[in-house]
Amino acid sequence: MSVAGLERRRQLVTAGLGTALTLVMGLVLIVGFRLATHMRAEVTALQAASTLQTYPEEISHQLNTLRDRLEVRAYSGKALADLQETVKHFDQELKALDATRDVDSPQLGRALLLWHEYGPVLDPVVTFSGQPYLDTDSGGSNLSREGREHYAQVKRAQLFAADNAHALQAQLSSLASTLQQSASQAATRLRGLLAAGVLAALVLAAAAGYFQFTRARHERAARDAQEQTRDILKTVREGFFLLDANYRIGSVWSEALARMFGRSDFAGLSFEELLKNLVTPATLATATKYIKLLWGDRAHENLMKSINPLGQLEITMDNGHGSKETRYLQFDFHRVMGPEGIKHVLCSVGDITSSVLLARELQDQQENANQQLDMMLGMLHVDPLQLVSFLDTAETGLKLVNAILKEPARSDAEFRKKLTGLFRELHSIKGEASALNLKSIASRVHALEDMVSECKKRPELTGSDFLPLVLKLDELLAHLRSVREMAARLTDMKDSPVTAPAAVPAVPAAPAARTPAAAEAPRPRAVEDMTPTLQAMADRLAADHAKRFRLSMHGLADVPGPYNATIKDCLIQMLRNSAVHGVESPQVRRDSAKDEAGAVRVEFRRTADGYELLFEDDGAGIAVESLKAAAVKKQLISEEEASLLDTRSTMALIFRPGFSTQDDVSMDAGRGVGMDVVARSVYALGGKIGVSTHPGKYTRFKIVLPAVDSASSAVA
């Protein structure tokens, strides 16, 4: 027998037991109610009969009392009233007993007959209302004529009652005995009925309990199966759902479907509504026709799969951050057959965006190889020595980026930690590329930063999200190799002793461990004069941001070799900040009675304990409240925390990872990693960094570094 048949049989048996139990209990209750009602009537009648037994003797006694009172000419009103009350109660209760009896009783009939004989005798007595005595001065109190008649009636009634009271009492006593026996029998029957009902209920309850136990066991198995199904639907990365004959989605689907389509209201949703706002009308019409064809009995399933128009469906949807993104989904359909034909269509949806993008990236690499070489020829304006120095630095940084990408990670937190490390390294490389005006390299690094930023916006990260980053990094490394080859040729042409090092190796496939020491160790660079580079960068920033700078630099020739790279990175970032946030536009400066050209001063000097770097501009300064507002907007702190910050703590926000006062991301600002990188570089050397400002006047950064020997010890 099938599982469905067993379940149907179990349901029928359970329903039958429940019906039988209901009928038995109902029958027991109905019969028991009738027996209880009858027994209650018997008990009530028994109580009444027991009470009535005392009345005949009471009536006889009261008649004797009334007669005695009349004989001695005493007051007889009280005795007559008691007699009237007793006769009235006896008559009422006897008639009530007769009226409530369900079955005629011979004893009651005889008692009623005897009481009926009492009537002619007692009625003249109890209805007497005259004056029984006549009082005179000479004779005293004597019976009146009415009194004499009344006395005769009382005496006659007294004699009748004396003769018949015992017989009437005997009938009432016999009636009470009969009623007691009947009530006892009814109680016995009721007990037997209840016992039988309880026994039957126990038997049926035991049977029901057994079937309930078996049912609970099967339900547990069903719940376990449902739980396993939910676990599967929660874990699989493909979207699964069923379509009915009306092309509507069923009530069960995998959780991956919600991530793919950004919604959770799939139950009862038609397939057309699912894709309506995601694809073009032409694609939607084709997909709808294809779904309808799947329900045709003559349609060959393998043939239908070969003409599937949804094998690679491009959709455009909201990414949850106010913008649109393009994704690629692959739909696959399988018909679920039932006894009467097609029952459902199982639809599986896979997100193949990464695969499609990887294929396109590979194709773009092949198509743009020659174009990249032409673009590199435009970099010939860069001094070969500076270019080689930068390439050495970039190579070291990208090797570290490669090591970060290959780090094993399992949890979402570990993946996000990798993204933070990537941001810092890439931002540093982009800064120096911008300083040398190597736009092709800076733009590629910026594009790689964009991809890292998009990864950070995703609610959950996996290893596959990093595959496009690996591909982009490989493209950047290839570009650097080409630039290095060109730099080597230029050096050879100028008879320079600089020898181009070996080409940067491609990203290896096998994972390699990255140690913390490798992440924090300063990258080796050749000592160079950074003044031309910084001046060129200042000119480029002024042109890009429509501002004017007057850059003055002092003491940079005294920067020791181990500090050269860090000082250069710091100054590049600070120049960016001055261009974007500090120095105002010429019009604003004129309105503020300032010189149109912003004054930017850089000074490096020796101190008793080490070195000191000052960077100052006479721009807009930093407003404390704007820092708090930006930190709250970036969700780095809450509004309550912002209200508690003092000026010193607020200024420290600019060194926090992810902090930026600029909403839009550009080549020079908006990432929220620049000053974070500066602070980390300074701290890595055992130094300190501080900031002071006056809104509308100036912003000054002060970096204190230890002596070179002390810094080497700190790094070691």
Strand stretches in 62-189, DSSP E: 133-136, 140-143
Residue 339 pLDDT level (bands cut at 50, 70, 90): confident
Same fold, 239-351 and 527-716: no
Q: Which pairing describes strands 549-554 and 598-606: parallel, antiparallel, or unpaired?
A: parallel
Residue 656, phi then psi, degrees to nearest 5: -85, 140
Query: Which residue do the tokens 């009235």 mark?
Result: 88
DSSP string, 14-25: HHHHHHHHHHHH
CA 506 to chain centre: 45
Strand order from edge to edge, sheet including 239-243:
249-253, 239-243, 341-351, 324-338, 313-318
pLDDT number for residue 54: 85
pLDDT number for residue 664: 58
Percent of the chain having pLDDT more than 70? 83
Please name the amino acid found at residue 217.
Answer: R
DSSP designation for 578: I
Please name the amino acid found at residue 100.
Answer: T
Cα angle at 517 between 614 and 577, to 5 degrees?
A: 30
CB atoms within 10 A of CB 437: 16
Does CATH number 1.10.3470 belong to domain 358-524?
no
DSSP string, 73-94: T---HHHHHHHHHHHHHHHHHH
Instruction: Give the mean model confidence (pLDDT) for residues 448-473.
Output: 76
| Cα dihedral: 587, 545, 384, 530 (round 10) | 60
Buried residues in 78-112 as b, exposed as e (16+ CB within 10 A): ebbeebbebbeebbeebeebeeebeeebebbebbb
Please name the amino acid found at residue 374.
Answer: D
- Helices of type H across 510-633: 516-520, 531-544, 561-577, 586-591, 624-633
Please tell me the class of the 527-716 domain.
Answer: alpha beta
Residue 170: pLDDT above 70? yes
pLDDT number for residue 614: 92
Q: Using one digit for the tens of pLDDT, what is the confidence trace for 57-85?
A: 888 898 899 888 888 888 888 888 888 88
Q: Using one digit for the tens of pLDDT, what is the confidence trace for 266-309?
A: 888 888 888 877 778 888 888 888 878 777 766 666 766 777 77
Q: Which pairing describes strands 324-338 and 313-318: parallel, antiparallel, or unpaired?
A: antiparallel
Residue 371: pLDDT above 60? no
- Helices of type H across 436-497: 439-457, 467-493
Cβ atoms of 710 and 687 within 8 Å: the answer is: no
Distances in Å between the alpha carbon of 204 and those of 10, 16, 31, 207? 15, 10, 19, 5
Cβ atoms of 504 and 388 within 8 Å: the answer is: no
Query: Which residue do the tokens 């019009």 mark?
Result: 587
* 200-214, 256-270, 581-595: which is most confident: 581-595
Q: Using one digit for the tens of pLDDT, what is the confidence trace for 568-621?
A: 888 888 888 888 888 888 888 888 888 888 889 999 999 888 899 999 988 888
Lowest mean pLDDT among 337-351, 478-492, 586-600, 607-621: 478-492
pLDDT number for residue 515: 39
Burial class (CB in 10 A: 0-12, 13-18, 19+), 458: middle
- Domain ranges, ordered by start, for the chain: 3-211, 239-351, 358-524, 527-716
Residue 705: its H or E element: strand 698-706
Q: Using one digit for the tens of pLDDT, what is the confidence trace for 177-190?
A: 887 787 788 788 87
DSSP designation for 659: -
CB atoms within 10 A of CB 435: 27
pTM here?
A: 0.41
Residue 420 pLDDT level (bands cut at 50, 70, 90): confident
Please name the amino acid found at residue 200.
Answer: A
Residues 6+ apart with CB under 8 A from 278: 261, 315, 316, 317
Q: Using one digit for the tens of pLDDT, what is the confidence trace for 151-169?
A: 888 889 888 888 888 888 8
HSE, CB side, 13 Å, CA atoms: give it for residue 709: 1
Partner residues linked to 694 by β-bridges: 698
Residue 48: pLDDT above 80? no
Residue 406, phi then psi, degrees to nearest 5: -85, -5
pLDDT number for residue 4: 54
Q: Using one digit for the tens of pLDDT, what is the confidence trace for 637-659?
A: 888 877 888 888 878 878 877 77
Q: Which pairing describes strands 598-606 and 610-617: parallel, antiparallel, or unpaired?
A: antiparallel
Q: Using one digit for the tens of pLDDT, what is the confidence trace for 113-136?
A: 888 888 888 889 888 888 888 877
Buried residues in 652-665 as b, exposed as e (16+ CB within 10 A): bbbbeeebbbeeee
The percent helix, strand, coil of the chain (3-state, each to 5) is 65, 15, 25
Cα angle at 413 between 230 and 407, to 5 degrees?
A: 110
Please tell me the class of the 239-351 domain.
Answer: alpha beta
Instruction: Give the mean model confidence (pLDDT) for residues 469-473.
Output: 78
Mean pLDDT of the chain: 77
Q: Using one digit for the tens of pLDDT, what is the confidence trace for 524-569?
A: 444 567 788 788 888 888 888 888 888 889 988 888 888 888 888 8
Lowest mean pLDDT among 192-201, 572-581, 666-675, 678-687: 666-675
